[in-house]
Chain A
Amino acid sequence: MRHGWLLDLDAAPQRLREHLAASNARQLGRYAEALWRFWFAHLPGARLHAAGLPVKDALAVRGEFDFIVSLPGLSEVQHLEMAYKFYLYCPPGDDFSRLFGPNAADRLDRKWQHMLDVQLPLSQTALGRAALPQDVGQVTPRACLQGWLFYPLATGSTAPIAGVSPAHWRGWWCRSDDWSSHGAPWTELAGAWALLPRRAWIAPAAIDDPQAMLSPDACRTRIDAHFAASSQAQLVAGLQRAPDGIWRETVRIFVVAPHWPRGSAAT
């Protein structure tokens, strides 16, 4: 069902484009939120009761429900708190506190605890229930934390992290000074490279323009130029040419500043 729905949407994506334009979804988090909203609003069998619903105490906003939605196959109305994240595993240790966002102030343990302790319980409070749409009684709260985890390329360590689903999607990360050194291992991981803009971070890359492909040297130059002016992490995809002529991602690497994750209160 979803397969056909997505193929139809791909053939005529205008309504999704209009929805995203109206959602003002420039930040990656807002972009993911807008995609979910579109999905819940259009998926056959689903019913979106509310999205971004504020919970107010008199005039003060005490919180917000991401989504109140009925989904096919689930009898109860769902209160979904959603997040799509990119975390980089930074040993030592094997717990959630060693998983940092590209902005190291963001950490998996803090995010998960906030979802469990603050966001989910809200719909079970009197204040939260009062904010629900009139046609919704009880809701089942669920946290949906999705995304990618990245492991240190310098050591090749992919040791299991306690509590993390083994099915998660993954890539590698390295610091920009390691990336720039000659003989760096990443150059052997793929035939061509591309820097991914933020909105291309969610799906594995597929690029049909050969001119957009970078050689290892050209990619190194682009990364060097970026970090000479900025400390923002860059996501780089390694690609191989598929039989259909499309360059498809086979590996992805986050390149971070030389001192990451130091320099933030998170460490």
Chain B
Amino acid sequence: MVPMHKLQAMVAAQPRGTPRTPPLWNELVDPDVRALAALMASPLLIAEHAAPIATLTDA
């Protein structure tokens, strides 16, 4: 099992990517609009491919 100090570090280290602005979805209420905003902001998973679609962070 993971020791407590490591767990606390795990929580602290749980990033949501590296957004340059506060997540917009915290301002949104409708669940479908929140899903759309998160989908637009999600980084690509594969490193070699530069994002073809501008994300919310450059809005």
Residues of A at under 8 Å CB distance from B?
Answer: 1-3, 6-7, 9-10, 13, 16-17, 20, 31-32, 35-36, 38-39, 71-74, 78, 80, 84-85, 87, 108, 112, 142-147, 149, 153-156, 158, 163-172, 183-185, 188-189, 199-200, 202-204, 206, 248, 250-251
Contacts and interface: CB of A to CB of B under 8 A. Distances in A.
A206 B28 CA distance: 9
Contacts, number: 152
B56 A3 contact: yes
Contact of A189 (B7, B34, B43): B7
A204 B31 contact: no
Contact of B42 (A143, A169, A188, A189): A169
Interface in B1-53: 1-2, 4, 6-8, 10-11, 13-18, 23-40, 42-49, 52-53
A147 B32 CA distance: 16
Contacts of B29: 10
A154 B2 contact: yes
19 contacts: A6-B37, A13-B33, A144-B53, A146-B44, A156-B2, A156-B7, A165-B47, A167-B17, A167-B18, A168-B45, A185-B7, A188-B7, A189-B7, A189-B11, A203-B31, A203-B34, A204-B23, A206-B26, A251-B14
Nearest to B55: A2
Interface residues of B, number: 45
Interface of B: 1-2, 4, 6-8, 10-11, 13-18, 23-40, 42-49, 52-54, 56, 59
Given A80-B52, A163-B46, A206 B36 contact: no
Contacts of A183: 1
